A and B are shown apart, each in its own frame.
Chain A
């Protein structure tokens, strides 16, 4: 027999396992061109539709509507960042359930936090392909360049929504593990429950008091308020961005705890050998 292998610990071993999982999802993504096309398809449809609506508003309206294209198209791209990053995490996890692969993964040396980090990494890749593709296409279609409109702050606004997408995606993944694949619709439903209070297309002050309070507890509302301050006033709203990132960290911590607890619950209930289509 070969000599007893050392316990694979440390940052390097962890990075190797995370890379293995990223490779697994990269193989999956590149195994089928419709999967890549689907990533870009919906963001592009959204940008195209909103581009024409804002063109109409800018031509017929006055006041802030002159900025309609910048406001709405930036909002569409940032909203899709949140949506895609959430789906990137939850769908990548559900891929393992559809493939009945969780039993293999959870008997390998892969730690749950490494699995989570690999899901985040793939979510970033999928979001960059999807939203980045739509942003590039918006230039020839509408003459709209989001990097010119939002400038370097785009990175912060993008990250603010990306992180909350990861948190929500992790909660969805945990719930689907606990409740079964019958609950996979949550991956789409929960995002749209948040949209009305996330102040995507209108300021928070439009909402009734209770909904404003709910909105303020969610990072996207602060990201979109920051985006409006930038587009309408040319001001970097540091307070809004700071609130968004503080809330992102809080929600990521909550999501991490929920995920860890539901994975342990699955271990108590013997779900790893039962999940599948």
Chain B
């Protein structure tokens, strides 16, 4: 597990209280209270349909909460989103980059959207760090799944965000590529001191990367803590054991201690 970055200014990167979203009167998520401190990596675990993507969408300002509030760097989302969107970025398997544009063109467009003064230099750096140099002039639609994921991460890092939001960052990757991506992400987070909020189904990934874990079930957060704490509290062999216990119906977290 990573060591937390040293500086923790007053406002957390993400702050949510009583956060909920209903569609046609039915709540997809409800009563979410959580924080993502600066310099920390917080994982969001949960089964399919647990509400992870809905939660992430509200953090990003893509979705208006039905109740409660979520703030990013102290600014309520989505009302004050333009005060903070330039300081954050995200990647998700639910969105793509235009397939006909080359890797370089896509990164150039987003570098300019985020107001970078020297996009070419930033793209060179990202390409070197994420092993995209040989692919820069290839159309995005002709990349493999692993290459696309690396490009998505490059786009997400293009503005050197202070808050990085990731939805399933290593989904559909082979173990080797996934491992390299995790190493890069861990090194970047440590170096930059940025906060990372990531949803994942991959338990070893969460165990390795995350300082804190939130476990969602049925649209609510049902357990939280460090990976080590959760494993101990649930009496499980690892985080996967915790996840399976919750997913199979023993929803509520055992009393701490």
Contact = CB atoms under 8 A, between A and B. Distances in A.
Given A24-B101, A267-B62, A7 B109 contact: no
B161 to A, nearest CB: 10
Interface string B82-121: 1101111110101111111110010011101111000000
A219 B89 CA distance: 42
B115 A109 contact: yes
A20 B83 contact: no
A106 interface: yes
Nearest to A105: B113
Nearest to A102: B95
Given A7-B83, A267-B62, A110 B101 contact: no
B162 A4 contact: yes
B96 A101 contact: yes
A20 B109 contact: yes
A109 B86 contact: yes
Interface residues of A, number: 42
B100 A31 contact: yes
Contacts of A1: 7, 162, 192-194
Contacts of A276: 96
Interface in B226-243: none
B113 A109 contact: yes
Given A23-B109, A109-B115, A31 B162 contact: no
A21 B61 CA distance: 21
Contacts of A267: 61-64, 78
Which of B88, B112, B159, B162 has the most CB atoms of chain A within a 10 A radius of its CB?
A: B112
Interface string B179-220: 000000000000011100000000000000000000000000
A34 B85 CA distance: 37
A28 B193 contact: no
Which of A96, A272, A273 has the most CB atoms of chain B within a 10 A radius of its CB?
A: A273
A108 B113 contact: yes
A222 interface: no
Given A104-B110, A107-B85, 4 more contacts: A5-B87, A23-B112, A103-B94, A107-B90
Interface of B: 7, 21, 23, 53-54, 57, 60-64, 78, 82-83, 85-90, 92, 94-102, 105, 108-110, 112-115, 139, 155, 159-160, 162, 192-194
